[in-house]
Structure 1
Amino acid sequence: MTFVWTESELTPEQSQAVREENSLMLVACPGSGKTRTLTYKIAYELSRLKGERQFIVALTYTNRAADEIRERIEGLGVDTSQLWIGTIHSFCLEWILKPYGLYEQGLAQGFRVIDSFEQEQILEELCRTQSGITYWDCGYYFNEQGYVLTCRDQNKHERLKAIFALYFRRLAENRQIDFELMLYYSSRLIQNQPFIVQILANIFPLILIDEYQDTKHIQYTTVASIVRAGAGQTKIFVVGDPNQAIFDSLGGFAMEVEQLRQLCGVPLTELALTENYRSTNRLISYFSHFNVAATNIIGASPDRAFSSNISYDMTLDRDQLETELVRLIRLYVGQGISPDQICILAPWWVLLAGVTRRLAAALPEYEFDGPGMVPFSRDIENFWYRLSRIGLTNSSPSQYVRRLRWAGQVIRDLENEGVDTAELSAKQLLRESNSIQIDQTDGLLYLGDYFDALMNRLNIDWKSYPLLSEHHTAFFDSSAARIDRLRREGTAYIAGIDFFRRVFRHRSGVTVNTIHGVKGGEFDVVIAYGMLQGMVPHFSDEAAGDGGVTAAKKLLYVIGSRARKHLHLISEQKRARGRYGVYSTTDVLLGLNFDYDIV
């Protein structure tokens, strides 16, 4: 039965996008119901599948976004058994590298994906072979021709190339790949073995890409190769906002519609979602000043006439920052705004760590949530990370469907490693997990005991499976290093089991995040500091032809468009810039003439 909806569920703009029969590029302004539209599109197309062997593919920028969309679809009562949703890296691993890696010389003898901690360890070691190079210089990504260094200092490139020659050799010797190599090898496989994309095109009638403006060229071409092989039978649906393309330093960009049309070789319709249901008219007017793409935004929120506070402080001294943040948090909580509707932003996580610690001490009655405070390695491809999701969540009815899905993934992982799971069901795994009682207050020790107890109950000798053993070592080594670093920064409580359990709970406290990390979020109150030249824009973007103006505008657009009611920007004074003196105020903000409020 075809999935249907009422007029109250979707706007005419959204319904048109969902019903579009051609491939589609959907430009969605902030707060326009992009995720809702994507959810209904997937539900609609799932209900129209004609064969049991077909799958709808949805590629999201984060695994958290994938979980949210899947749960929304399940909440609509639509069967998701023929939906594959996740990041492009997970897609390449599951659908290209694992089944067809034997056709690629670098993968034919088997491989393991290293996590970010392992990568950092290797690169830090190799950086010692070249003077003046640090791990932070070692950013890179792949295009179809090879790797691209992201370091803007050309004087360092020869030394970096020497480091990466050693890096790639070491990975090859140990049969390891990192996340960028996943994309590179996938691209090589589909170029050299055309039958792969033909098989995938027969399986996938529709591939959706969320946040297309953050997609790399190698990712566009990988997906487009499948669409092109479908010869009209496989369609593509991309949705995003070019004004929020803030990952260009990592290779992400908003491809123009005509270029995507030619790349895919299929008719491609272009539509837009122009109505903002999130922000007030005053907020829309403000962040529209930073619009760099020709998009139209119409205020449609029931509260669009609300009188928003928009302030900008460029006189506050650095040593008064925490006091001001505490004042603003207390001000809005006192006005009835829930702490989980307040968000504190900065350009870099290093600016947030110490501030978060001091805010937690000054406001012990509130919780503070942020990805930089996750106490263990968040590597979705690691078996033990996947299992930790079950061990750290409660067996409540509201969590049942999610935990059942996670249990199914764990069983599939075990099957892939050769474990006999013929007698094991997802429900049984959950029953065994729920019956485990562990009296341990240290988070990592708790997980170690939990993993051993569950494997014993399932009669699985995990140590006899090499990949499970490697994943176990990687998970605990990287988690221990992460906790140690956070402890050194003053968050001693980070190692406790209560803090571990927060990781998979819904947001409950004041959100602390970077500008890049908060994309997709929305809050009643957004407070952003570090609005300084060299941070917004990043100092590496100042070398661009426009001096970083476009990069700064995109960051400010993202910040402003997260807010529903109130926005506060701070360019704190006297923040040291190493041997360069102190940071100055962001030029783009200095040049904007706006009637700010005094709060």
Structure 2
Amino acid sequence: MIDAHETERRLAEHCQASQHRVSPFHCAYNYTSRGPELRGIDAGFQPAVMEVLGWYWEDLHANRQIDFEMILRFAHELISTVPSIAILLSQMFRFVLIDEYQDTKEIQYDIVAHIMRAGVGRTNAFVVGDANQAIFGSLGGYAIAQAQFAADCGAPFTAKSLSVNYRSSERIVGYFSNYHVMPAAISAEGKDRLFPSKITYDHVTEARDLEDALIGLLRYNIETAGIAPREICIVGPQWIPLAVVTRRLVAALPEYSFDGPGIAPFARNIDNFFYKLARLALTEPSPQLYVRRLRWAGEVIAEMEHAGVSVKNISRKSLLRTCNSIEIGEDDGLTYLDLFFDELFFQLGLELADYPNLAEHREMFVGDSQKRIESLERGGLQGITDIAMFRRVFASRSGITISTIHQVKGAEFDAVISFALLQGMVPNSNDAHVDSANKLLYVICSRARKNLHLISETGRVNWRGDPYNPTDVLAAYPFAYDPIPDEEA
């Protein structure tokens, strides 16, 4: 199975052979129960994209490889054409638990439905999620209607609703409830229920002054409101403007640290063997991390066994002891990892060349990491190659979090600051439906416990040179916002 980075590389190669200016961006697809489906591509351009994807699929077939979407495709084909598989699975599993159902794909719903129908009452399902947070439509996810899923499964579903919010203040809950797509009565009942939340909306600051506005809000929340830096999150719709903002904030606020998956200095490919090994290389032995590192060691051993390594003399504890004993005197993070991998394989008595699958994983991990570092450095992030930056990827959250809207889903912070809330970014120009904007704003605003600061900066223009305007549904909300803290001063 190839990872996302290898998929992009292969698609880029095939796009070069196309005469229709197809790029890997255009080739994003997902399988449905009816076949492959392109994401947000005009009908007239689809044949050119499908031609490139055809070459890509032939390439994978010739090399006996599949990507993630093809796992779902072949699983669906098997369960649809071999009835005994669904029957066997229904006998094995009494319960199917589906979390975040609103991000589930149509083909995944259909796989579950086959198992449920075959179970004829033996198999039950518990499905949980929030249709108001269905923001992964561009990846094929959607919130299926209860009646439709019940009909597909041949089983009745009892609807239950959670109406109590234990996270946010009453004022925050009241505010984000405006962005409901599916009606839901929510009441605040947590310890911060009566907190006098500040909710601000800045639609006058120019993009060139955004850094100053963010610094003002950060200082207010930390120095005046007494909120810890680790409990603050800055949210943006895209990584490019986030990287630029991060670079400037790091320089302007050296007294604070910043955390975020978008500024990870190496490829965060969780399926890559050497990414899993890097977790052990970059974390120090400690009682707090012992159980987690023990689990990581188990995952590494399982991957080694899958690759053909004899692991009968390697236990999770012995692997941790070996990793803990390795000392590398190197400040460059990627070089450090390279030396660590060599030393570990030497101490385990293994030759990487004897295991082609692992060798391929290492080549992809190093190559993708080098590309990521180059990209971050072009974006202006300095010191990204330092071993300290590498170690921070797996360290406990200690600084101000930087995140995209999609990656912040599920997290919570005392204060949330969101910028670039502009029509064409939130939502993006390919998905300008009002429901999409409501869902994105719902996710952003419901992450906050105490304070919420929204910014639609002026002066940004799109690729055509047209100015961005504030997100329509945000601009149309007649809320009694608090004065921006700097204005109060």
Q: 1:429 is aligned with what amino acid? A: L
Counterpart CA distance in 2 for 1:430 and 1:203 is 35
Which residue, 206, 219, 232 being the options, matches 1:342?
232
How far the C-alpha of 1:586 sits from its partner, in A, is 1.2
Aligned residue number for residue 37 of structure 1: none
Counterpart CA distance in 2 for 1:402 and 1:203 is 29
Q: 2:389 is aligned with what amino acid? A: F
Which residue, 442, 456, 469 being the options, matches 2:332?
442
CA contact (8 A) 1:575 1:583 kept: yes
Counterpart CA distance in 1 for 2:359 and 2:292 is 26
1:270 is paired with a residue whose SS is coil
Aligned residue number for residue 406 of structure 2: 516
Given the alignment of the two structures, is residue 371 of structure 1 paired with residue 371 of structure 2, yes or no?
no
Q: Deviations along 1:380-420, whole A, 9 cap, x unmatched? A: 22211111111111111111111111111222222222221
Counterpart CA distance in 2 for 1:248 and 1:556 is 15
How far the C-alpha of 1:153 sits from its partner, in A, is 2.6
Q: 1:569 is aligned with what amino acid? A: L
CA contact (8 A) 2:40 2:138 kept: no
Which residue, 440, 450, 455 being the options, matches 1:565?
450
Q: 1:347 is aligned with what amino acid? A: P
Aligned residue number for residue 190 of structure 1: 79
How far the C-alpha of 1:537 sits from its partner, in A, is 1.7
> What is the 5 A alignment of 1:463-478?
463-478=353-368
> What is the 5 A alignment of 1:251-290?
251-290=140-179
Counterpart CA distance in 1 for 2:197 and 2:297 is 45
Counterpart CA distance in 1 for 2:122 and 2:293 is 35
Given the alignment of the two structures, is residue 119 of structure 1 paired with residue 4 of structure 2, yes or no?
no
Counterpart CA distance in 2 for 1:173 and 1:388 is 31
Q: 1:561 is aligned with what amino acid? A: S
Counterpart CA distance in 2 for 1:349 and 1:560 is 19
2:417 is paired with a residue whose SS is strand
Counterpart CA distance in 2 for 1:390 and 1:209 is 31
CA contact (8 A) 2:240 2:379 kept: no
Aligned residue number for residue 550 of structure 1: 435
How far the C-alpha of 1:580 sits from its partner, in A, is 4.0
Bigger mean CA offset, 163-172 vs 325-334? 163-172
Given the alignment of the two structures, is residue 228 of structure 1 paired with residue 117 of structure 2, yes or no?
yes
| Paired-residue identity, % | 48
Counterpart CA distance in 2 for 1:378 and 1:393 is 16
Aligned residue number for residue 480 of structure 1: 370
How far the C-alpha of 1:594 sits from its partner, in A, is 0.9
Which residue, 460, 469, 474 being the options, matches 1:575?
460
Larger RCO (alpha carbons 8 Å, 6+ apart): 2
Q: 1:236 is aligned with what amino acid? A: A
2:235 is paired with a residue whose SS is strand
Aligned residue number for residue 88 of structure 2: 199
Query: RMSD of the alignment, in Å?
Result: 1.6
How far the C-alpha of 1:525 sits from its partner, in A, is 0.8
Counterpart CA distance in 1 for 2:176 and 2:425 is 18
CA contact (8 A) 1:130 1:163 kept: no
Q: 2:151 is aligned with what amino acid? A: Q
Aligned residue number for residue 291 of structure 1: 180
How far the C-alpha of 1:266 sits from its partner, in A, is 3.2
CA contact (8 A) 1:190 1:197 kept: yes
Aligned residue number for residue 453 of structure 1: 343
Bigger mean CA offset, 345-354 vs 131-140? 131-140
Aligned residue number for residue 55 of structure 1: none
Q: 1:118 is aligned with what amino acid? A: E
Counterpart CA distance in 2 for 1:305 and 1:581 is 43
CA contact (8 A) 1:138 1:151 kept: no
Counterpart CA distance in 2 for 1:347 and 1:394 is 34
How far the C-alpha of 1:562 sits from its partner, in A, is 0.6
How far the C-alpha of 1:465 sits from its partner, in A, is 1.2
Bigger mean CA offset, 195-204 vs 412-421? 195-204
Which residue, 212, 215, 229 being the options, matches 1:326?
215
> What is the 5 A alignment of 1:139-154?
139-154=28-43
CA contact (8 A) 2:239 2:404 kept: yes
Counterpart CA distance in 2 for 1:362 and 1:120 is 35
How far the C-alpha of 1:351 sits from its partner, in A, is 1.7
How far the C-alpha of 1:294 sits from its partner, in A, is 1.9
Bigger mean CA offset, 141-150 vs 220-229? 220-229
Aligned residue number for residue 197 of structure 2: 308
CA contact (8 A) 1:346 1:529 kept: yes
2:19 is paired with a residue whose SS is coil
How far the C-alpha of 1:178 sits from its partner, in A, is 1.6
Aligned residue number for residue 423 of structure 2: 533
Counterpart CA distance in 1 for 2:81 and 2:255 is 59
Q: Deviations along 1:323-360, whole A, 9 cap, x unmatched? A: 10011101111021111111111111122111111111
Aligned residue number for residue 20 of structure 1: none
How far the C-alpha of 1:194 sits from its partner, in A, is 3.1
Counterpart CA distance in 2 for 1:156 and 1:535 is 23
Aligned residue number for residue 62 of structure 2: 173
> What is the 5 A alignment of 1:123-142?
123-128=11-16, 129-142=18-31
Q: 1:343 is aligned with what amino acid? A: C
How far the C-alpha of 1:181 sits from its partner, in A, is 1.5
How far the C-alpha of 1:450 sits from its partner, in A, is 1.2
How far the C-alpha of 1:432 sits from its partner, in A, is 1.1
Counterpart CA distance in 2 for 1:381 and 1:138 is 21
1:271 is paired with a residue whose SS is coil
Counterpart CA distance in 2 for 1:230 and 1:475 is 42
Q: 1:567 is aligned with what amino acid? A: L
Alignment size in residue pairs: 482
Q: Deviations along 1:252-278, whole A, 9 cap, x unmatched? A: 111122222222333422211110011
CA contact (8 A) 1:344 1:510 kept: yes
Counterpart CA distance in 2 for 1:173 and 1:484 is 32
Counterpart CA distance in 1 for 2:49 and 2:171 is 47
TM-score by length of 2: 0.95
2:98 is paired with a residue whose SS is strand
How far the C-alpha of 1:526 sits from its partner, in A, is 0.7
Counterpart CA distance in 2 for 1:199 and 1:472 is 38
CA contact (8 A) 2:301 2:316 kept: yes
Bigger mean CA offset, 382-391 vs 226-235? 226-235
Counterpart CA distance in 1 for 2:64 and 2:237 is 36
Given the alignment of the two structures, is residue 493 of structure 1 paired with residue 383 of structure 2, yes or no?
yes
1:593 is paired with a residue whose SS is coil
Counterpart CA distance in 2 for 1:481 and 1:587 is 37
Counterpart CA distance in 2 for 1:293 and 1:391 is 45
TM-score by length of 1: 0.78
Bigger mean CA offset, 374-383 vs 245-254? 374-383
4+ long deviations beyond 6 Å: none
> What is the 5 A alignment of 1:1-150?
113-128=1-16, 129-150=18-39
Counterpart CA distance in 2 for 1:202 and 1:459 is 43
2:96 is paired with a residue whose SS is strand
Counterpart CA distance in 2 for 1:194 and 1:414 is 34
